[in-house]
Amino acid sequence: MLDIVGGRLSTHCDRRQRRHFLKIGGLGLGGLSLPGILHAQDSAPLNPKRSLGHKAVIMVYLSGGPSHQDMFDLKVDAPVEIRGTFQPISTNVSGIQICEHMPRLAKIMDKVAIVRSLHGCPDQHASDLCMSGYPMGANGRQDNHPSLGSAVAKLQGSVDQAVPPFVGLSIKTKHDPYSNPGYPGFLGPAYAPFQPDGEGMANMRLEGISLDRLRDRRGLLQSLDRFRSQVDLNEGYRAADTMTQKAFDVLTSSRLVEALDLEREDPAVRDRYGRGSRDPAFGEDAGPHWMDQFLTARRLVEAGVRCVTLSFGSWDRHHSNFERLPTQLAKFDQAITALIEDLHERGLDQDVSVVAWGEFGRTPRINKDGGRDHWPQVSCCLLAGGGMRTGQVIGSTNRFGEVPQDRPVHYQEVFATLYHRLGIDVSTATIPDFSGRPQFLVDRHLPIKELI
């Protein structure tokens, strides 16, 4: 816990009144401690490079299980109870078609790879598989394996000691297993993601100065001056004054805080991504239609974060599939296309990998409520950036979209590919568990050859 305040007095056992001013505990920043951050502030170069300078991954979790045959694998020749009402449209890559409700994505298909034959998913409504490559198992969430972000934080550490290597943007949802931004598993809480929506950022307060007001240097200085007037009265606080000043410097000038401040962006860029809302999509129990988080993710990797996770939308469409998906697909289309184009325009497409997927697919047959139910037999995913070979579709399903037909791709093969783009060879890289026994990152060690 990091609690910076300045407004209340208490009487201690020595009968002196002292102002509670700084509490420093176990604020998890992907293995960083406040002393480490402060040390980095002292040693950081004055003119850091403008280029990214590291590899990163942005993981978009489509909470609830997206319908593969209503997004990237439309079956127009199937019976009406299977094909639904959506129509395919051509993309800028000859021979590839996707859903009509994603026209922006269709125009940049050369920058995207689609996997239509994804398998390896159990019937579990949770983000565990999409964060780690492991579903919930006998050992608990993610079967006690670290998520990709936690593993990368352990193996590669921080790019900038003032910035956590792993940030989770997923917010609390009614169905709690959707809220997992990526657990650290056997690595322990030191490698959990930093969550700006959680306790870590909530504790960064100074007399009512919240994250939204951290740019107000005048207000901060006034609060600091009030605090110092108390410090000057007590010899015991003087030794801590330098550390306190540095702590404030971290909060008011760190690249992390600046990256989270979207007000620094050109309004036109924000409009390009879409503003969205933190309210749950359709008032349901899954992720929000919060397009701002795609922009935040881009800003975070530019600031030095190695892995950013977020959740988007409510894809558990047991009913009203064809009434609600057009709205949701349009929002997803806008945000994911803006992110991919932005990475290319900024020259980051070789450094930043993007994946968007859910925990399973949906039933080929439409149910009586106009929805599709859980279908663990096959799913789909979108990949972009990271220097991967895009402009292609990998794999196929059978006539009704029931099972993989050509080139089945396991979830863990996608993880092996993402690790590969980060410079980590999953066939050799290991992390010791609690007992000291080395553990591989995933069980399947071959990346998708078509992408690399």
Residue with tokens 């690249």: 255
Overall domain count for the chain = 2
348 in a structural domain: yes
362 in a structural domain: yes
Whole-prediction pTM value?
0.83
Do 319 and 418 have their domain in common? yes
Confidence band (pLDDT; 50, 70, 90) for 220? low
The answer to whether 64 and 286 have CB atoms below 8 angstroms apart is yes
Do 80 and 225 have their domain in common? no
Q: How far apart are the C-alpha atoms of 294 and 298, rounded to whole Å?
A: 7
Write out pLDDT tens, residues 330-350: 999 999 999 999 999 999 999
Do 282 and 379 have their domain in common? yes
Tallying the residues shown for the chain, one arrives at 452
The three-class DSSP label of residue 74 is coil
What are the φ and ψ backbone dihedral angles of 429, each rounded to 5 degrees? -70, 135
Do 305 and 327 have their domain in common? yes
Instruction: Read off the DSSP letter of residue 145.
Output: P
Question: Residue 362 above 90 pLDDT?
Answer: yes
Instruction: Read off the DSSP letter of residue 310.
Output: E
* N- to C-terminal Cα separation, the chain: 42
| Mean of all residue pLDDT scores within the chain | 84
Q: How far apart are the C-alpha atoms of 329 and 35, rounded to whole Å?
A: 44
Instruction: Read off the DSSP letter of residue 319.
Output: B
Among 173-182, 256-265, 391-400, where is mean pLDDT lowest? 256-265
**Residue 278 tokens, joined:** 């933190």
Do 35 and 125 have their domain in common? no
Specify the CATH number for the domain of residue 296.
Answer: 3.40.720.10
Structural domain range at position 386: 56-201+266-440
Do 279 and 398 have their domain in common? yes
The three-class DSSP label of residue 143 is helix
Do 347 and 286 have their domain in common? yes
> Pick from 246, 247, 359, 342: which is nearest to 301 by CA?
342
Give residue 370's identity as a one-letter amino acid code: G
Q: Is 46 exposed, middle or buried (0-12, 13-18, 19+ CB in 10 A)?
A: exposed
451 in a structural domain: no
Do 321 and 433 have their domain in common? yes
Do 181 and 320 have their domain in common? yes
What is the number of alpha carbons within 13 Å of residue 241 lying toward its C-beta? 16
Q: How far apart are the C-alpha atoms of 6 and 251, rounded to whole Å?
A: 15
Write out pLDDT tens, residues 254-312: 678 889 889 999 999 999 999 999 999 999 999 999 999 999 999 999 999 999 999 99
Question: Which pLDDT score is estimated for 293?
Answer: 97
